[in-house]
Chain A
């Protein structure tokens, strides 16, 4: 049965643009839910699949197995070895991307209308019948190991890894999803097969498509594509509580520019205060050149090329985070300025003028995101994973508009926690004498 619900066009700012995005909710015969934006003017379709869990499903002691398994899905399937599979994909001019994220395994496909059935049959083989040939395992393992080794001397990778370790400890978020050279070296084909069976269960799949395909066609496509995958997957991880203090941790590394991540706990996406926090962050440090952090750290003082903040809502953790990079002799000043701005926001909230500017930007920019089949399919699948309904597209700007200065002031006091703001700095920073110095964890 195909149930189609048309959602009204996205509403926009001040009688200007309106993105006519009509979302159809398709329920397939097999019972899968898929969202579709039909756009027949260009003969191809973008398809997005998400399987919740992703790299966070790695069993104890098998860190990196979901990532490795995902890298192997396109390395041979059914009768085709790795090169034959790649040749078949090229001959169809199809694009498939497989990515193991912390929260989900993501599969993105872009296929021409003229050979859609053949392309989907090939994609299906990679999901249902991956070969995990011994030579492919060795080849992809070597690529992953090379990448892990590169990360060990890359300041951006080091700061990410150290910050996540400090914040999340033993939770899957606390270590790199690639694993360590030791953990990856020890993975066996059996481990990989087990990870494949765990990661692609249809009790946690989300599906979206945009482009030249009808609801009926999509329904049949989804049922064919997913038939035979495991119906039930393993338990998902528990949420993790994060606690931080207003300290600075330095990971010494010889490089001219220090890179810092900063943050503390935040509120979830479904919190009633989320929109106020979201608008507040727009003023603080999101987006382009207009934020307070860009103004204070870059425009006024020239301390950085880029500084930003963001609310990181993930499946098992909600964080208020940010990043900055400054020369070793200037990072201390950048950190001091950011701490001041954090406190100012917590104490004062935003002005009426700032609020209006943020709202105009956010509401105006929203429809601009729906620019093309790939972007639309990606937005739709993300909405489903956040438990939003299609009418969110039409009401989202109203929720932004409804935020008041008083809301932001109240929520800023709740969300901005200067006494918990942790900085993790990688480099040779000067002027951070009070910082706690830790040795980078060298993962073998």
Chain B
């Protein structure tokens, strides 16, 4: 809904050569002369296509002081071009029986339509048009700015958990823009101007910064012909420049914060650690962390659930989360929601003890094998949704990865060993690169935190 694709805690399961039919067989890629990458994912079961354009530009590519402009611009792309009236884009899609929307994240902004296959050319024509011909009216953009403020109200201001998340994220990143909310800080989002939006548009919206993904009942040759017709004539932006963001300095101190809000009736503790992401040609560490998150917090059979919900009654919920698909350093998180009568301090201590136990006892071989089997099965289930496959390619290719990386990822996951997982864990669980947050109501007691001792630390 011109919505934020919130940084997802979900693990990106990825594809292996499938048992019966390979995902890789369904995927064809090529590049247009102007630098626009194209990914075609074939699925001929129904005469439907998902057409997506992903820009390698998201909230983390914004200039300082205009947080939220990437998302604001995403809304404004529906407000007309030299030849299209405001709102006409979605009207035309709907009048052709399709649906459309867009999303903004830290590393990408994406636009998509889902429609009958024979309308693909029309979608490309309109999407190519608004890549370069946006025309905005001063009034329209003020109303739309009110809309994004209401969007922020709905997603963030009305939710103490979301406000807490913003504070934790800002504390985790000392310098990198991942510490700034995608939707923008309220005071900056309220002050965004047409010039701010256009400056972002003119730099980042160009074919050499975009990826076209077409998933559904199409063949690569016809997509190539249509793409050359509609996107081919657009000029590359020679001034795009390299994609460089401010990086994190060495972090040297554990951070703690407590967010209190009367709207909290269920307190919880979250710790996030700065963690490496999938890098092109070097995804092994991220693969180990992906499996670590499953082992620690992936449901009923996980280590945290065993220790905090079965062998003791500390938590009503516990989990671990890591998503390796990002352009720069991402995070690895642990969460414990304590039972009534258990303090946050006790919950946090039990969480640390559980992680320490894993480091000491090692990985249960059967659990690791079950997880790997589920990852292999996931590639069978993934064949059921070509548009989801398209989104996976889009997220990976806008996060600095290549098609080869995407296709190698399932094999890399399968090759991860217990040793890899424990080594990755010992590197990532460094308190000096972490933020521990408590969310609680005012006038409640979280209990006293024990000082960090050598026995609780699981760093090298």
Interface residues of A (CB under 8 A from B): 12-13, 16-20, 39, 41-44, 82-83, 86-87, 90-91, 93, 110, 112, 114, 138-139, 142-143, 145-146, 149-150, 152-155, 254-257, 259, 287-290, 298-306, 325-327, 330, 357, 360-361, 363-365, 367-368, 370-374
Chain B contacts for A155, CB-based, 8 A: 158
Given contacts A255-B263, A361-B95, 4 further A-B contacts (CB under 8 A): A90-B299, A143-B316, A256-B158, A368-B98
Which chain A residue has the least Cβ–Cβ distance from B46?
A19
Which chain B residue has the least Cβ–Cβ distance from A111?
B377
> Among B101, B158, B309, B384, which residue has its beta carbon within 8 angstroms of that of A257?
B158
Contact A153 B97 (CB under 8 A): no
User: Which residue of A86, A143, A288, A326 has the most chain B CB atoms within 10 A of its CB atom?
Assistant: A288
The answer for the CA separation of A90 and B374 in the assembled complex, in Å, is 7
The answer for the CA separation of A186 and B14 in the assembled complex, in Å, is 45
Chain B contacts for A365, CB-based, 8 A: 97-99
Interface residues of B (CB under 8 A from A): 1, 19-21, 45-48, 78, 86-87, 90-91, 94-101, 114-119, 142-151, 153-154, 157-158, 262-266, 299-301, 306, 309-310, 313, 316-317, 337, 339-340, 366-367, 370-371, 373-374, 376-378, 380-381, 383-385, 387
Which chain B residue has the least Cβ–Cβ distance from A82?
B300
Contact A18 B47 (CB under 8 A): yes
The answer for the CA separation of A143 and B153 in the assembled complex, in Å, is 28
Contact B154 A306 (CB under 8 A): yes
- Interchain residue pairs A-B with the least CB separation, the first 5: A364-B97, A302-B146, A93-B377, A86-B300, A17-B116
Contact B384 A374 (CB under 8 A): yes
Chain A contacts for B300, CB-based, 8 A: 82-83, 86
Expressed in whole angstroms, the minimum distance between the Cβ of A114 and any Cβ of chain B is 7
Task: Give me 14 A-to-B residue pairs in the complex whose CB atoms sit less than 8 angstroms apart, sorted by A's number.
Answer: A44-B381, A82-B310, A86-B300, A86-B301, A139-B309, A146-B316, A255-B157, A289-B87, A305-B1, A305-B151, A325-B158, A360-B94, A364-B116, A367-B46
Chain B contacts for A142, CB-based, 8 A: 313, 316, 339-340
Chain A contacts for B87, CB-based, 8 A: 289, 299
Contact B97 A16 (CB under 8 A): yes
Contact A357 B118 (CB under 8 A): no
Contact A42 B384 (CB under 8 A): yes
Contact B147 A298 (CB under 8 A): yes
Q: Given the known A-B contacts A149-B266, A257-B154, A361-B97, are A110 and B118 also in contact in the complex, defined by CB atoms under 8 Å? A: no
Q: Given the known A-B contacts A153-B262, A361-B95, are A257 and B373 also in contact in the complex, defined by CB atoms under 8 Å? A: no
Chain A contacts for B377, CB-based, 8 A: 93, 112
Q: Given the known A-B contacts A326-B150, A374-B384, are A42 and B145 also in contact in the complex, defined by CB atoms under 8 Å? A: no
Contact A325 B154 (CB under 8 A): yes
User: Which residue of B99, B154, B370 has the most chain A CB atoms within 10 A of its CB atom?
Assistant: B154
The answer for the CA separation of A360 and B367 in the assembled complex, in Å, is 51
Contact B263 A153 (CB under 8 A): yes
Chain A contacts for B301, CB-based, 8 A: 83, 86-87, 90
Q: Given the known A-B contacts A142-B340, A288-B99, A305-B1, are A93 and B374 also in contact in the complex, defined by CB atoms under 8 Å? A: yes
Q: Given the known A-B contacts A83-B300, A112-B377, A256-B158, are A302 and B370 also in contact in the complex, defined by CB atoms under 8 Å? A: no
Which chain B residue has the least Cβ–Cβ distance from A212?
B20
Chain A contacts for B376, CB-based, 8 A: 93
Expressed in whole angstroms, the minimum distance between the Cβ of B347 and any Cβ of chain A is 13
Chain B contacts for A301, CB-based, 8 A: 143, 146
Expressed in whole angstroms, the minimum distance between the Cβ of B207 and any Cβ of chain A is 26
Chain A contacts for B143, CB-based, 8 A: 299-302
Contact B48 A368 (CB under 8 A): yes
> Among A41, A86, A154, A374, which residue has its beta carbon within 8 angstroms of that of B45?
A41
Expressed in whole angstroms, the minimum distance between the Cβ of A292 and any Cβ of chain B is 13
Expressed in whole angstroms, the minimum distance between the Cβ of A434 and any Cβ of chain B is 24
> Among B91, B149, B158, B317, which residue has its beta carbon within 8 angstroms of that of A357?
B91
Chain B contacts for A299, CB-based, 8 A: 86-87, 143
Contact A368 B150 (CB under 8 A): no
Contact B340 A145 (CB under 8 A): yes
The answer for the CA separation of A363 and B116 in the assembled complex, in Å, is 11
> Among B48, B96, B265, which residue has its beta carbon within 8 angstroms of that of A367?
B48
Contact A370 B374 (CB under 8 A): no
User: Which residue of A83, A110, A305 has the most chain B CB atoms within 10 A of its CB atom?
Assistant: A305
The answer for the CA separation of A290 and B262 in the assembled complex, in Å, is 38
Contact A372 B384 (CB under 8 A): yes
The answer for the CA separation of A365 and B97 in the assembled complex, in Å, is 5
The answer for the CA separation of A83 and B370 in the assembled complex, in Å, is 13
Expressed in whole angstroms, the minimum distance between the Cβ of A440 and any Cβ of chain B is 13
Q: Given the known A-B contacts A257-B153, A298-B147, are A39 and B95 also in contact in the complex, defined by CB atoms under 8 Å? A: no
Contact B373 A93 (CB under 8 A): yes
Contact A304 B147 (CB under 8 A): yes
Chain A contacts for B118, CB-based, 8 A: 16-17
Contact B99 A327 (CB under 8 A): no
Chain B contacts for A367, CB-based, 8 A: 46-48, 116
Expressed in whole angstroms, the minimum distance between the Cβ of B307 and any Cβ of chain A is 12
Contact B150 A304 (CB under 8 A): yes
Which chain A residue has the least Cβ–Cβ distance from B186?
A256
Contact A370 B97 (CB under 8 A): no
Contact B45 A150 (CB under 8 A): no
> Among A143, A146, A305, A360, which residue has its beta carbon within 8 angstroms of that of B150?
A305
Chain B contacts for A153, CB-based, 8 A: 262-265
Contact B370 A87 (CB under 8 A): yes
Q: Given the known A-B contacts A42-B20, A302-B150, are A372 and B157 also in contact in the complex, defined by CB atoms under 8 Å? A: no
Chain A contacts for B378, CB-based, 8 A: 93
Expressed in whole angstroms, the minimum distance between the Cβ of B370 and any Cβ of chain A is 4
Expressed in whole angstroms, the minimum distance between the Cβ of A300 and any Cβ of chain B is 7
The answer for the CA separation of A110 and B381 in the assembled complex, in Å, is 9
Contact B150 A44 (CB under 8 A): no
